[in-house]
Structure 1
Amino acid sequence: MKFLQPTTLDEALAAKAEHPHALPIAGGTDVMVELNFDKHRPAALLDLNRVDELAQWAPEDGHIRLGAGVSYTRVIDELADRLPGLAMAARTVGSPQIRNRGTVGGNLGAASPAGDSHPALLAADAVVEVASVRGTRQIRVTDFFTGVKRNALDRDELITAILIAPSTGPQQFCKIGTRNAMVIAVSAFGLALHPERRRVGTGIGSAAPTPRRAHGAEDFLSAALDDEGLWDSRAELPETLATEFGGRVRDAASPIDDVRGSAAYRLHSLAVMARRALAWAWHDYRTSTSDGRA
């Protein structure tokens, strides 16, 4: 097995072009498990830990440009006020040691249906920046996942950053597991209120072949909040509205039975999580400042 260790992004892209089968590794929280259990034996590993460009974040054109190598711990410590949904999801990832090493870019690259960052990124309508020696392109996160543990990257491309608009309204993340911590999600749900656009964003995890948004639920709730003047009045949310929203989120999923939970349980849990997440987010919205921030 070859071990490639570039020190700049240009070197990393050149190495990926020369060795398209090389498996990128940063935190290694997924890759090392597969290697240790002999589930994957790549021809080469592309170590990205020395590529400083990937480990930075900064505001850029109205977004946060989150380098693919930024750890979960840094998202929690440095970006919780701007990306609250992603920070909530990051807090549920593994142990402190895993959060110190694991990265949002690595989570995206693995493209697991149960990836913890995915619902929050979907709800926030994030964009994935990828690059190769041929140039840079952007992929909406809704188009990034193409199948179970498959993504839209070409063989010579690396994830370089995730572009996420700072929150303008409350965000929530919920996760059901077989225990309270250090667990793969049985199902997960992300919610973001976008009052400046009068829109609602959602993200479903571990309940379909790929992470996905509940578009029908988003359209229903966005229209209902607008029609009833709730965006402006910030009045109490009708319970029937929250229940209908939860049902439409449930209907957007297509889970399977597996060792972690049944399809029926996943569907039920999604409806409950969506209803609760909406109640929590709406409470924060009602008590927030005029710009929608809690």
Structure 2
Amino acid sequence: MDFLRPESLAEALAVKAERPDAVPIAGGTDVMVELNFDHRRPAALLDLNRVSELVGWSIADGEVRLGAGVPYARVITELGEPLPALAMASRTVGSPQIRNRGTVGGNLGAASPAGDTHPVLLALGGRVEVASVRGTRFVPADEFYLGVKRNALEPDELIIAVHLPASAGPQQFAKVGTRNAMVIAVCSFALSLRPEKTEAGAAVGSAAPTPRRAREAEDFLAAKLPWGSREPLADSLKRRFGELVAGAAAPIDDVRGSAEYRKHALSVLARRTLTWAWDEHRGSDRECA
């Protein structure tokens, strides 16, 4: 196995063009597990740890550009205000050691249906910036996931950054597992309310072949939420929202949970996160899950 160590983004893209079979590695929290268990044996590894262009973030015109190499620990400590749901999801990823190494870019590259950050990217309407020697393009998050561990990258492309709107309203993330972190989600859910636009974003994870948006649930909230009010939400509205979120899933039975349980859990997560987000919208002291 060849080990390739570019020093810059330009060099990394050139290497990837020459060796499209090279598997990118930064934190290694997914790739190294596959190697250790002999589930994968690539011809080459492309180490991106020296590529400084991937480890920064910036905010401009109301949008956060998050470099693909920024670890979860920095998302938690540096981006809790502009990207609260992503910070919440990052807190549930693995152990402190994993959060110090793992990245949103790596989560995208693995494209696991159970990836913790995927529902947040979908609920916020994120875009994935990918590049090759041929140029740069942007892939909407809801077009990036093609199947179980399959994404929209071309063989010569690398994930460069994720673009997400800076918080313009309440956001929430929640997941079900045997514990809060260091566990693969049985199911997960992200919610974004955008009061100024009377829009909502909702997405499920670990409950279908790919992470997916709950579009009917989004449309329901956009039409039915009393955006100009500060009154508590009716139980009937929250219950219907939960039903629509559960209906967006297509889960399977596996060792972590049954399909029936996943649908039930998603309905509960949807109702709870909507309550928390609406309480924040109303000015409540309650902040997050």
Tell whether the structures are fold-level matches, with TM greater than 0.5: yes
What is the TM-score with the length of structure 1 in the denominator?
Answer: 0.96
Q: Which of 239, 259, 274 does residue 270 from structure 2 map onto?
A: 274
In the alignment, residue 166 of structure 2 is paired with which amino acid?
A: P
Percent identical among aligned pairs is 66
Q: Any idea what SS the aligned residue of 1:89 has?
A: helix
In the alignment, residue 119 of structure 1 is paired with which amino acid?
A: P
Q: Any idea what SS the aligned residue of 2:220 has?
A: helix
Structure 2 gaps of 5+ residues are: none
CA deviation vs aligned residue, 1:213-242 (integer Å, no higher than 9, x gap): 0000000111012xxxx2112221111100
- Aligned pairs (5 A) from 1:191-270: 191-225=191-225, 230-270=226-266
Q: Which residue of 1 aligns with 2:164?
A: 164
Are the counterparts in 1 of residues 175 and 188 from structure 2 also a CA contact under 8 Å?
yes
Alpha-carbon offset, residue 196 of structure 1: 1.7
Q: Which of 262, 284, 292 does residue 280 from structure 2 map onto?
A: 284
Matches of 1:137 and 1:189, distance apart in 2: 28
Q: Which residue of 1 aligns with 2:31?
A: 31
Moved more, 69-78 or 234-243: 234-243
In the alignment, residue 114 of structure 2 is paired with which amino acid?
A: A
Matches of 1:111 and 1:196, distance apart in 2: 32
RMSD: 1.3
Is 1:114 equivalent to 2:114 in the alignment?
Answer: yes
Matches of 1:196 and 1:145, distance apart in 2: 29
Q: Which residue of 2 aligns with 1:17?
A: 17
- Aligned pairs (5 A) from 1:67-216: 67-216=67-216
Moved more, 99-108 or 56-65: 56-65
Alpha-carbon offset, residue 5 of structure 1: 0.3
In the alignment, residue 209 of structure 2 is paired with which amino acid?
A: P
Structure 1 gaps of 5+ residues are: none
Matches of 1:203 and 1:60, distance apart in 2: 25
Matches of 1:161 and 1:196, distance apart in 2: 27
Q: Any idea what SS the aligned residue of 1:196 has?
A: helix
Matches of 1:170 and 1:118, distance apart in 2: 18
Are the counterparts in 1 of residues 91 and 181 from structure 2 also a CA contact under 8 Å?
no
In the alignment, residue 251 of structure 1 is paired with which amino acid?
A: G
Q: How many residues are treated as equivalent by the alignment?
A: 287
Matches of 1:151 and 1:215, distance apart in 2: 21
Alpha-carbon offset, residue 106 of structure 1: 0.2
In the alignment, residue 124 of structure 1 is paired with which amino acid?
A: L
Q: Which residue of 1 aligns with 2:45?
A: 45
Matches of 1:166 and 1:36, distance apart in 2: 38
In the alignment, residue 133 of structure 1 is paired with which amino acid?
A: V
Matches of 2:201 and 2:82, distance apart in 1: 16
Alpha-carbon offset, residue 288 of structure 1: 6.5
Alpha-carbon offset, residue 100 of structure 1: 0.2
Matches of 2:36 and 2:127, distance apart in 1: 32
Alpha-carbon offset, residue 180 of structure 1: 3.3
In the alignment, residue 219 of structure 2 is paired with which amino acid?
A: D
In the alignment, residue 233 of structure 2 is paired with which amino acid?
A: L
Matches of 2:180 and 2:82, distance apart in 1: 26
